[in-house]
Each structure stands twice: as C-alpha cells, then as structure tokens.
C-alpha cells in the first residue's frame, strides 16, 4: 500500500499581498500526476488545507475541484483530510455527507458519541491496497484544541496539557488497534508542534498553549507504523523516529521558507510496517529571489546594482514572475529608496513583495542616550540630532538641518 502524505496547503494564502492561487493550482495539477505516476492508493492531508477559518471563494473552489478530479480519475483512492489550526473544523466537515459518498473522509474536530463523549471509533478509516484489501487503519486525529483535552488531575511532574494529548492519542490508537487485523498497519495523523522540530518564525503559528507546550514524540504509541503530521512547513522526521514525520508544505508560505525542500511524502507499507519513505520534491512554480543574495546586509548602491544585474526571464507569463525581497542597510536617510527600486524594476518581469530598510544608527532612545538630561534643557536641534543618531550614522546634512529649523519656526509662529 502506497500513500501520499501532504499537509499545510494553506489554500487562499496571500504572501505580502500576492495571491498564491496560481501556485496552488499548479501544485494540485502536479499532485494528481504524482498520484497516477506513483500508483498511490491513499492520500492523507494532515491539516491546514485552508489558510483561514473563512476561506475565500476561489480557495474553496480550488479544493473541491481537486477532490472531484481526484475521485473521478482515481475511484479507488482513499482520501483522508483532517483540520489544522488554521482551518475551521466544522466548515471543513460540513460537506462530509457528500464527500463520504465519494470516498473522502474529513475529520474537522474530535468525533463525539450521543452523550457528547469522545468517540474515537468514528475517526478510524480503512486504507486499501491496489487489490482492494484493507492494508492499514488510519486514525484521523485533527488539530487538538485546548477545549478538547480531558481533565487531568494535578500531579507532580506531569504537564496536564501534554498528558491530556497523550490520553487522547492513546484512546484513538486503541480504537485503531481494535479494528486492526494481522498484517495491517496502524497509521495516525496529527496537526501539532513537536519538541525538537525546527520551524520558520514567520508563518507557523505557535499552537496549543505556545512553544513551551511542544509535544514529546512519545505521545504517539510505538506500535504506530507511521504518524503523518502537519503544522511545520519544513519536511522532517521527529524525535529520531523515522516513522513520525512532517511532510512540510508544498510551497513556501513565507519568504524565509524559500530554502526548504518543499515536498510531499510517498510512504510504502507492507505487512503492517513502513518499508519505504521517499520525498517527492514539488517543482517551484514561482521563484523567490532574496537580495542581497549573499544574505549579508549591504548599502543601497550595492543592492540596486545587484537588482539591475538580476537575470529575469522575459518569456515568463505574469503569474509566474518571481517574487523579490530586497533588504538594504541605510546609514543615512534615503526617502526615495522605494522609487529607486521601482525604477530599476520598471518594465521587468518580477514582483517586489518586500523592501526592508534597516537603519544602522545607535538605536538608542533619548532616555537611553542621555539619562541625566532633562528634556526641557535641550534645544530643539539637540533633540533632533539625538533622534537622527538613533536611526542614522554621522551628522545630519546642512540641508536637512535647515529644513528642520524651517519647520520649527513655522510651528512656533502658528502657536
């Protein structure tokens, strides 16, 4: 049995104002081809299908169009989807009556029995191999919210939050085991933050009580043949267990994720065990260029020159023009910097997403720079010079000082 594990699509995302719809469309086309080429029997989507609780209409259309194409083209493909912290679990689950008929299982929140208690049986789904035989039982655990956790009695050295998650996984895995026949693999999903994992600061929101509540890998029972995780955008195994993995996101969701090897995971099982794990690299449909390419901060002239020299492909259609992030160190004011960058890019096939000017002054506030001086004892020009030194190096130019005095005079006149 071969499954494709993916997560963190974040359909509907915008990156510094740029729509990702084109990249997502290309990824979903590519994924359909991979399902065919790799002869996958199952597809697991481990949360954060959408970027927000109320996804934009094109994102909803994209998801359902994908499911329709996948189920039409691969009628025997088992598809399991769980909600992540970005998704609205109930919104994701709402079309379940239709999706179930198509062989798509969606778990948005912990399933309950008639009395409102946790009913893990309802989150266990069979995964079939090519012959149609059950090869695995997938325990589809979605993102766990604080309110989902069972009450845990106070005990020395026991973190009630981690213990609560552990008990939920234990109950869920037990439900999986009750269904398991010899030779079948026990597969779990999860959307959570694990200890010892590396993350991007910008786009992976800390979840479930924050970073201090990262989960230890032993919340997942040892007899799980595979744990398909979502939430972190960098593909990685967790806690030294090769069978507990984040698939990572298929596209970079922040500029600093540019260097990640974005992929989906092809995982093969035989006789109830994982026998192979293979990353399938997702092609990059839109390039990201971060300048300076050296990663070292540089002055505006150097960065503008690098931007001038940047090789760009004029044959690219607009939707695949590369994204640019430009960072400049500013030792003195340069109010026209944005215009200068725009001028270098005018008529060229690239999209500037982010321009960062880092001021190289002392960074000290007035109180830090002169703790013993009363503000009233300073002349306006002294205050101005200290403000200048906070942001910039050297002395303000005579023209800037003259403009400042003109401004002071006009304020005093009107007062």
For Mn ion, the closer CB: 85 or 247: 85
3-state secondary structure at position 366: helix
Which of the ranges 46-54, 72-80, 221-229, 391-399 carries the binding residues for Mn ion, by CB under 5 A?
46-54
Using rule CB under 5 A, residue 48 touches Mn ion = yes
By CB under 5 A, how many residues form the interface with Mn ion? Answer: 4
Which of the ranges 81-89, 159-167, 264-272, 279-287 carries the binding residues for Mn ion, by CB under 5 A?
81-89
For Mn ion, the closer CB: 84 or 142: 84
- Give, in order, the Cα–Cα distances in Å from 270 to each of 12, 74, 89, 249, 368: 37, 21, 32, 26, 66
For Mn ion, the closer CB: 77 or 140: 140
232 CB-near residues (< 8 Å, 6+ apart)? 8, 193, 194, 197, 198, 199, 200, 204, 246, 248
Instruction: Give the nearest distance from C-beta 191 to Mn ion in angstroms.
Output: 6
Instruction: Give the nearest distance from C-beta 202 to Mn ion in angstroms.
Output: 13
For Mn ion, the closer CB: 186 or 253: 253
Which of the ranges 64-72, 85-93, 158-166, 289-297 carries the binding residues for Mn ion, by CB under 5 A?
85-93
Backbone angles phi, psi at 154, to 5 degrees: -60, 130
192 CB-near residues (< 8 Å, 6+ apart)? 143, 144, 165, 207, 208, 215, 229, 231
For Mn ion, the closer CB: 243 or 249: 249
Instruction: Give the nearest distance from C-beta 135 to Mn ion in angstroms.
Output: 28
Cross-strand partners of 268: 2, 276
Which of the ranges 43-51, 58-66, 126-134, 277-285 carries the binding residues for Mn ion, by CB under 5 A?
43-51
For Mn ion, the closer CB: 85 or 200: 85
Helix pair angle (337-345, 300-309), 10° resolution: 10
Which of the ranges 15-23, 76-84, 251-259, 284-292 carries the binding residues for Mn ion, by CB under 5 A?
76-84
Which of the ranges 37-45, 79-87, 132-140, 151-159 carries the binding residues for Mn ion, by CB under 5 A?
79-87
Q: Could you tell me if 291 and 310 are in contact, meaning their C-beta atoms sit under 8 angstroms apart?
A: yes
Instruction: Give the nearest distance from C-beta 20 to Mn ion in angstroms.
Output: 16
Distance, in Å, from the CA atom of 376 to the CA atom of 136, rounded to the nearest integer, reads: 76
3-state secondary structure at position 322: coil
Using rule CB under 5 A, residue 85 touches Mn ion = yes
Query: ∠ CA(321), CA(324), CA(330), 5° rounding?
Result: 155
For Mn ion, the closer CB: 199 or 328: 199
Using rule CB under 5 A, residue 108 touches Mn ion = no
For Mn ion, the closer CB: 137 or 245: 245
Residues 174-233 that bind Mn ion (CB under 5 A): 231
Q: Could you tell me if 92 and 79 are in contact, meaning their C-beta atoms sit under 8 angstroms apart?
A: no
Q: Could you tell me if 324 and 289 are in contact, meaning their C-beta atoms sit under 8 angstroms apart?
A: yes
Q: Could you tell me if 219 and 162 are in contact, meaning their C-beta atoms sit under 8 angstroms apart?
A: yes
Distance, in Å, from the CA atom of 215 to the CA atom of 12, rounded to the nearest integer, reads: 28
Instruction: Give the nearest distance from C-beta 88 to Mn ion in angstroms.
Output: 13
Q: Could you tell me if 255 and 353 are in contact, meaning their C-beta atoms sit under 8 angstroms apart?
A: yes
Using rule CB under 5 A, residue 84 touches Mn ion = yes
Instruction: Give the nearest distance from C-beta 54 to Mn ion in angstroms.
Output: 16
Instruction: Give the nearest distance from C-beta 308 to Mn ion in angstroms.
Output: 39
Query: ∠ CA(148), CA(194), CA(276), 5° rounding?
Result: 110
Q: Which residue lies nearest Mn ion, judged by its C-beta?
A: 231
Using rule CB under 5 A, residue 12 touches Mn ion = no
Residues 229-258 that bind Mn ion (CB under 5 A): 231
For Mn ion, the closer CB: 85 or 189: 85
Backbone angles phi, psi at 288, to 5 degrees: -115, 125
For Mn ion, the closer CB: 207 or 286: 207
Helix (H) or strand (E) holding 65, with range, is helix 57-73
Residues that bind Mn ion in the complex, under the rule CB under 5 A? 48, 84-85, 231
């Amino acid at each position: 049995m071969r499954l494709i594990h993916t997560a963190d699509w974040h359909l509907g995302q915008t990156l510094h104002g740029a729509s990702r719809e084109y990249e997502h469309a290309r990824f979903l086309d590519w994924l359909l081809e991979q399902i065919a080429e790799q002869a996958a029997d199952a597809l697991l989507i481990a949360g954060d299908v959408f970027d927000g609780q109320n996804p934009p209409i094109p994102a909803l259309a994209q998801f359902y169009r994908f499911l329709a194409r996948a189920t039409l083209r691969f009628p025997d493909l088992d598809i399991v989807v769980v909600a992540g912290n970005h998704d609205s679990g109930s919104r994701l689950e709402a079309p379940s009556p239709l999706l179930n008929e198509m062989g798509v299982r969606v778990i948005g929140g912990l399933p309950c029995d008639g009395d409102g208690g946790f009913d893990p049986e309802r989150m266990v789904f069979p995964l079939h191999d090519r012959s149609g035989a059950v090869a695995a039982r997938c325990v589809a655990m979605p993102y766990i919210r604080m309110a989902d956790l069972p009450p845990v009695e106070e005990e020395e050295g026991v973190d009630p939050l981690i213990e609560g998650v552990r008990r939920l996984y234990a109950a869920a895995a037990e439900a999986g085991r009750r269904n398991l026949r010899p030779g079948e693999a026990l597969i779990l999903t999860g959307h959570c933050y694990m200890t010892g994992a590396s993350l991007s600061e910008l786009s992976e929101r800390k979840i479930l009580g924050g970073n201090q509540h990262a989960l230890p890998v032993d919340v997942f029972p040892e007899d799980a043949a595979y744990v398909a995780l979502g939430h972190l955008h960098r593909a990685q195994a967790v806690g030294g267990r090769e069978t507990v993995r984040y698939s990572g996101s298929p596209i970079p969701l922040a500029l600093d994720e540019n260097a990640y090897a974005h992929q989906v995971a092809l995982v093969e099982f035989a006789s109830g065990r994982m026998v192979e794990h293979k990353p399938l690299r997702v092609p990059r449909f839109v390039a990201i260029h971060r300048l300076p390419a050296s990663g070292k901060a540089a002055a505006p002239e150097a960065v503008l020159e690098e931007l001038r020299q940047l090789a760009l492909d004029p044959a690219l259609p607009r939707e695949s023009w590369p994204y640019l992030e430009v960072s400049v160190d500013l030792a003195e004011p340069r109010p026209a910097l944005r215009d200068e960058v725009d001028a270098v890019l005018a008529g060229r096939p690239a999209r500037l997403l982010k321009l960062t000017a880092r001021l190289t002054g002392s960074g000290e506030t007035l109180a830090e720079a002169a703790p013993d001086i009363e503000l009233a004892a300073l002349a306006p020009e002294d205050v101005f010079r200290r403000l200048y030194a906070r942001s910039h190096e050297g002395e303000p130019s005579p023209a800037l000082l003259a403009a400042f005095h003109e401004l002071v005079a006009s304020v005093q006149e009107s007062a």
